[in-house]
Amino acid sequence: MAKVLALSFGRKMSNTDVMLKEVLRKCQEGGHEVRFMRPDEMDIKPCTGCTACVVGILSGRNNGQCIHKDDFHLIEDAFYDADAVLIGSPVYETSPTGTFKTLCDRMGPSHDLAFLTEARKERMEQGKSGDQLPDERAFKPRVGAILAVGGARTENWTIFTVPVMYELFMSTGVQVIDTHTYYGAMNVEHVLGVPEEMERMDQMAKNVMDALDAIEKKDDKEIGRWRGESEGACPVCHQSVFRVHPKSNLVECAICGINGQVRLISGMPEYVFPEEEIARSRMLYAGKLEHRNEIANGAMTQKKVENLAELKKPYLHIGE
């Protein structure tokens, strides 16, 4: 029996809540343990960017503890316990809610798989064990699915939501196996009046349980296999949001950070990503390690500014 966690950033018992609960209901019927949490009802303070968590991991002083004392540890514990994590958010101005981003910022640096993996290696080489090592649950295979719910009648007003929601899974190493966007939600009082959307949630549940079965069988290739409706143009995240390089045919996946080329074949675009680029996607470990090393080297070689306190003084009270 696996554990399935759903984090809902929508209004209580509104579309997002109910759609996620439908996935949980089907997973529960499939014999899995389910848990539902609403971060909006919890005290989750915003990240201040103090870098205490990252410095703690890099220096060996701690395992990424945050300076804030709030309810974040409740979500952290549930997240680490889970084998599958579902996240759902309404669309606010083309993106997920502020609460989602607040949680995402808190999860990112202190739960980065590359930071924790390298820290574990270094500390084990030093003979450390037990509580001196990062939480062992951080390293287990985990799959995820993403749901976005937009009231707008056109899909283009939801464009940033799912890509931004990948951020919660990016650092933690969760393998996204399905995503879905329900738009036009304002057309009907509640999603319970839209049978095809609820049926899509049943399919998401099947996809999640299929991936959980692969985790149980330790079938690495099957665990992260994409099970969503659309393949998308990116071969890793299966989304189609790119940064276009001016005056060239190069594109960069906004989620994965990998570069590819656009070619026209009989008037139709074909997106080609070299294997070496695919391998360094930030959704994969090599991409996370690349970022970890970049941050670690920067922290260790950061140039100090002389008389910084004095230089800041003219700016202290401007506009106050």
**Domains with residue ranges and CATH for the chain:** 3-229 (3.40.50.360)
**Three-class SS state of 178:** strand
Q: What is the pLDDT of residue 300?
A: 61
pLDDT truncated to tens, each residue of the chain (320 aa)?
Answer: 899 999 999 999 999 999 999 999 999 999 999 999 999 999 999 999 888 888 888 888 888 888 999 999 999 999 999 999 999 999 999 999 999 999 999 998 789 999 999 999 999 999 999 888 999 999 999 999 999 999 998 889 999 999 999 999 999 999 999 999 999 999 999 999 999 999 999 999 999 999 999 999 999 999 999 999 988 999 999 999 999 988 888 999 999 999 999 998 988 989 999 999 999 999 999 999 998 888 877 666 778 899 999 999 999 999 99
Instruction: Write down the pLDDT at residue 314.
Output: 95
CA 285 – CA 252 distance, rounded (Å): 18
Query: Which pTM does this prediction carry?
Result: 0.94
Give the pLDDT of residue 138.
Answer: 94
Helices (H), 135-233: 161-170, 195-217, 220-223
Residue-level pLDDT at 285: 92
Kind and range of the H or E element at 150?
A: strand 143-150
